[in-house]
A = this chain, B = another copy of it.
Amino acid sequence: MSDVWVVGVGMTPFAKHDASAEELVAAAVDEALRDCGLEPADVDAVVVGTAFAGPGAGQHLFRDSSFAGHPLVNVENACASSTAALLEATAWVGAGLARIVLAVGVEKLTGRVQGLLPVADDDPYGAQGLTLPALYALKARFHMERYGTRAEHFALVAVKNRRHAVDNPRARFQTPVGLDEVLASRPIAEPLTLLQCCPNSDGASAAVVAADPLGGKRAVKVLGSALGSGLRRAEIGWEEPTLRRVAARAYARAGITPAAVDVAEVHDAFTPGELLAYERLGFSEEGQGGSDLEAGRFHLGGPRPLVNPGGGLLARGHPPGATGLAQVHEIVTQLRGEAGARQTDTARIGITATMGGNVPQLETNACVVHVFAAQ
Contact = CB atoms under 8 A, between A and B. Distances in A.
A361 B58 CA distance: 9
Contacts of A92: 91, 95
B95 A90 contact: yes
Interface stretch (A76-84, A311-319, A326-334): A76-84
A90 B228 CA distance: 18
B75 A75 contact: yes
B363 A63 contact: yes
Interface stretch (A6-14, A49-57, A212-220): A49-57
Contacts of A87: 73, 97
Contacts of A119: none
A68 B364 contact: yes
A72 interface: yes
A51 to B, nearest CB: 5
Contacts of A55: 51-52, 76, 78, 358, 360
B227 A73 contact: yes
Could you say which of A1, A90, A361 has the most chain B C-beta atoms within 10 Å of its C-beta? A361
A358 to B, nearest CB: 5
A45 interface: yes
Interface string A226-237: 111111001000
A34 to B, nearest CB: 23
B360 A229 contact: no
A59 interface: yes
Contact of A68 (B56, B60, B90, B363): B363
A75 B62 CA distance: 17
Given A1-B95, A56-B361, A94-B97, A228 B77 contact: no
Contacts of A52: 55
A70 to B, nearest CB: 6
A63 B361 contact: yes
Interface in A333-375: 358, 360-361, 363-366
Nearest to A96: B1
Contacts of A60: 360-361, 364
Nearest to A321: B55
Contacts of A284: none
17 contacts: A1-B95, A56-B76, A56-B360, A59-B78, A59-B363, A60-B360, A63-B361, A63-B364, A69-B229, A69-B364, A70-B228, A71-B226, A72-B77, A74-B75, A91-B91, A91-B92, A93-B95
Interface of A: 1-2, 45, 51-52, 54-57, 59-60, 62-64, 68-78, 84, 87-88, 90-97, 225-231, 234, 242, 358, 360-361, 363-366
Given A56-B360, A62-B364, 8 more contacts: A45-B227, A56-B78, A59-B363, A69-B228, A69-B231, A73-B88, A74-B75, A94-B97
